[in-house]
Amino acid sequence: MFRTAPDSSATSPPTAGDRTALRICPLCEATCGLTLTIEGTRVTRARGDRDDVFSEGFICPKGASFGELDADPDRLRTPLVRENGRLREASWEEAFGLVASRIRPLVEEHGPNAVGVVLGNPNVHTMAGGLYPPVLLSTLRTRNIFSASTLDQMPKHVSSGLLYGSAVAIPVPDLDRTGHLLLLGANPLESNGSLCTAPDFPGKLKALRRRGGTLTVVDPRRTRTARLADRHVAIRPGTDALLLAALVQVLFEERLTDLGALAEHVEQLGEVEAVTRDFTPEAVAAACDMDAEEIRTIARELAAAPSAAVYGRIGSCTVEHGTLASWLVDVLNILTGNLDRPGGALFPLSATDKAPRPAAPGKGFALGRWSSRVGGHPEAKGELPIAALAEEIETPGDGRIRALLVIAANPVLSAPDGDRLDRALSDLDFMVSIDPYLNETSRHADVVLPPPPPSQSAHFDFAFNALAVRNQVRYTPAAVPLEPGLMDECEIHARLLLAVGGMHGAEPSAVDDMVIQGSLAKAVADPHSPVHGQDPAQLAAELTGSSGAERRLDMMLRLGPYELTLAKLLENPHGIDLGPLQPRIPQVLRTRSGRIELLPAPIAADLPRLRSALDGRPEGLVLVGRRHLRSNNSWLHNVPALGGGSNRCTLHVHPDDAARLGLTDGATVAITADGGRVEAPVEITDDIRPGVVSLPHGWGHDRPGTRLSVAAARPGVNVNQLLDGSRLDPLSGTAVLNGFPVELTLIR
């Protein structure tokens, strides 16, 4: 990783006619500030912005390939509409007209649930995705809402909802100040971090060790992150919740708990002690395939550290006990007094959060307020499991999904059983995709609405500022003017909303005006708001900004905790540092008791399932995923600069397993599991523990009707075809993507 930008193959040295512009990178959660060199309207180079208050010049190969991604010739530049079964180019007017004429009658005849919505990962990386989907969902009033969250962090939302009363109150490890980091199921040296926004995560881990701190990594693979660690534990996949429960048990047994200032804010400590009593290190050791004494040591190190943070990510979430593991991560931070204290895990306060209000009991967090129609899966945070999307389209009856709006998502590759979903999508009455690519999912759409390349969009991180290791705020306007014929993604979202909401043809600014009026009316009535009692019309008139989205951002900043405005952000193009994370308990708590409810009932009810896993000693192979620094889920395989090398869709196999099965490096194997069968080349490596194989996700670009010429030339296979969607973490509806059984057969 680099402090200054490497010259990627797409870049060229600056010349006299060049100019530069700043752009926050939208490609991962690290949110690095980039300096783009622009020739005419083309981005010829991307470097790390050394003056960025947060990223201080850091960049990775993905950010460095910004220009190549931006100029990808396969990117769609006009809307597409389906006519006689084929997609053809169309005007924006025609595209939105078609949406309006097809969606409204379906809703009128079959009710709001006839329209499903799928929200994909890039929505948290665009302004449009932050501002408009909530309004779209409240306009549609459908219960058929699905997102990448149930392939990802929903377990954390559920555990936060239950513990703190707010699903979005997610504590973030204080990387810059912690003395000890216990990291489970995360590989930030490839992913650049997740639910922990930290440009230069690798540098921060190295700094932790330089200042005498320690790093323990729990991962069945010896990842690049694990190589940095003082201690690497190659756990058996899917058993983190058992390990974490044993750590809790040791803290209680050896009287190592010390809640410090938290004590007065925590309920049900004794209850947690009681329910974890039988998860001794000796009881979990065999299932985790760990040494009981090592488990005790990890617990003692955690308790002894001057400050410590336990942090779990994908490998602890997308597993059978994902919610329990997410809960136990926080329980450990609480029991050691590290939650909400510097050096531990704290709640960020972002510039667009509501201004803090005095601590008070809240409404709490309800789970399972309704269930999915076919599978009876409980909702979580208003969403249904994306693994259940296909059955909701296929199964006849009242409430069947007949039309689908897919916004920045590629579930045919990202979610379990893409073949089934592929067939289901082709049975829809109507489908809309907002997507720059014609890919495995959008190829089924009747209308494709392409957003402009990232250089032509403004950027603000609504999601990630609230997950950042330091409070800070940055805004970058579009670096290049919108190309004629393209439409800003905010306007696409606004027009889509008007089209499906029966207001087709209204000005898109009407959507923003409606939101601004509604929010200001609420704010002036709220005694804790900085604008309490003021005139909403006057406040609206004071807002600045050259678009509805900018005016909304300005409003959120003004209503936020730091007395900021859009104008102040524009005056500080490299961002404004708002200081290190600060303790926020009890103010952040929204539980009914106003305290941290340490043993919520749904968690207690799921513990017997964990207890039964104590006897689990799977004999066969299990599969886990992996990420590569130069990849990003399912959609960066079309950028030539990022392909090749070690970024390939191979199956990692331990030498012992390879020998037992007669596999040689480069051999082709068939991998079979519940959901199907795929073939992949074998890569033998002792970086993976015996009994575990690893295949990355986001590959399988071999379906007809897409326009991904580079990706299609090296398609790889879709790991999610191995899943049939039935393996879920029951509390969160999150798909089990890691630690499921597979069988290998040598093909050649």
Ligand X SMILES: Nc1nc2c(c(=O)[nH]1)N[C@H]1C(S)=C(S)[C@@H](COP(=O)(O)OP(=O)(O)OC[C@H]3O[C@@H](n4cnc5c(=O)[nH]c(N)nc54)[C@H](O)[C@@H]3O)O[C@H]1N2
Structure token digits, residue 13: 């040295």
Q: Does 415 bind ligand SF4 (CB under 6 A)?
A: no
Binding site partner of 453, from Mo ion, ligand SF4, ligand X, none, Cβ cut-off 5-8 A by kind? none
> Residues 143, 221, 595, 689: which binds ligand X (CB under 6 A)?
221
Binding mask 423-462 for ligand X (x = CB under 6 A): -----------xxxx-x-----------x-----------
Q: How far is CA 246 from CA 242, 285, 292, in A?
A: 6, 9, 9
Q: Does 122 bind ligand SF4 (CB under 6 A)?
A: no
Q: Is 211 exposed, middle or buried (0-12, 13-18, 19+ CB in 10 A)?
A: exposed
Alpha-carbon distance of 410 to 353, in angstroms, equals 29
Minimum CB distance to ligand SF4 smaller for 80 or for 189:
189
Structure token digits, residue 68: 């190549």
Alpha-carbon distance of 262 to 171, in angstroms, equals 14
* Greatest extent of the chain over all pairs of C-alpha atoms, in Å: 76
> Residues 38, 60, 287, 588: which binds ligand SF4 (CB under 6 A)?
60
150 contacts 735 by C-beta, under 8 angstroms: yes
Q: Does 29 bind Mo ion (CB under 5 A)?
A: no
Q: Does 184 bind ligand X (CB under 6 A)?
A: yes
Q: Does 631 bind ligand SF4 (CB under 6 A)?
A: no
Which residue has the CB atom at the shortest distance from Mo ion?
152
- Cβ at position 69, least distance to ligand SF4 in Å: 10
> Residues 152, 435, 488, 606: which binds Mo ion (CB under 5 A)?
152
- Cβ at position 739, least distance to ligand X in Å: 5
Check residue 548 and report its DSSP letter. Answer: H
Q: Which residue has the tokens 């969606």?
A: 103
Q: What are the residues whose beta carbons fall under 8 Å from the beta carbon of 266, sequence distance 6 or more?
A: 259, 334, 595, 596, 598
Segment interacting with ligand SF4, rule: CB under 6 A, options 20-28, 312-320, 548-556, 658-666? 20-28
Minimum CB distance to ligand SF4 smaller for 6 or for 579:
6
Q: Which residue has the tokens 């058929």?
A: 144
Q: Helix, strand, coil proportions of the chain in percent (round to 5)?
A: 35, 20, 45
Check residue 150 and report its DSSP letter. Answer: G
Binding site partner of 414, from ligand SF4, ligand X, Mo ion, none, Cβ cut-off 5-8 A by kind? ligand X
- Cβ at position 238, least distance to ligand X in Å: 5
Q: Which of 635, 633, 733 is nearest to 145 (CA)?
A: 733
> Residues 5, 228, 290, 629: which binds ligand X (CB under 6 A)?
629
Q: Does 701 bind ligand SF4 (CB under 6 A)?
A: no
Segment interacting with ligand SF4, rule: CB under 6 A, options 60-68, 341-349, 547-555, 570-578? 60-68
Binding site partner of 30, from Mo ion, ligand SF4, ligand X, none, Cβ cut-off 5-8 A by kind? ligand SF4
Q: Does 69 bind ligand SF4 (CB under 6 A)?
A: no
For the residues of 208-269, what is the DSSP string, one character each? HHHTT-EEEEE-SB--HHHHH-SEEE-PPTT-HHHHHHHHHHHHHHTT----GGGGGGEE-H
> Residues 8, 10, 11, 31: which binds ligand SF4 (CB under 6 A)?
31
Q: What are 371's strand-pairing partners?
A: 378
124 contacts 463 by C-beta, under 8 angstroms: yes
Binding site partner of 165, from Mo ion, ligand X, ligand SF4, none, Cβ cut-off 5-8 A by kind? none
Q: In the range 527-566, which residues lie near ligand X by CB under 6 A?
A: none
Q: Which residue has the tokens 């069988």?
A: 743
By the criterion CB under 5 A, which residues form the site for Mo ion?
A: 152
Q: Which residues bind ligand X (CB under 6 A)?
A: 28-29, 120-122, 126, 148, 151-152, 184-188, 190-192, 194, 218-221, 223, 235, 237-238, 240, 313-316, 319, 407-411, 414, 434-437, 439, 451, 489, 624-629, 631-635, 697-698, 719-720, 737-739
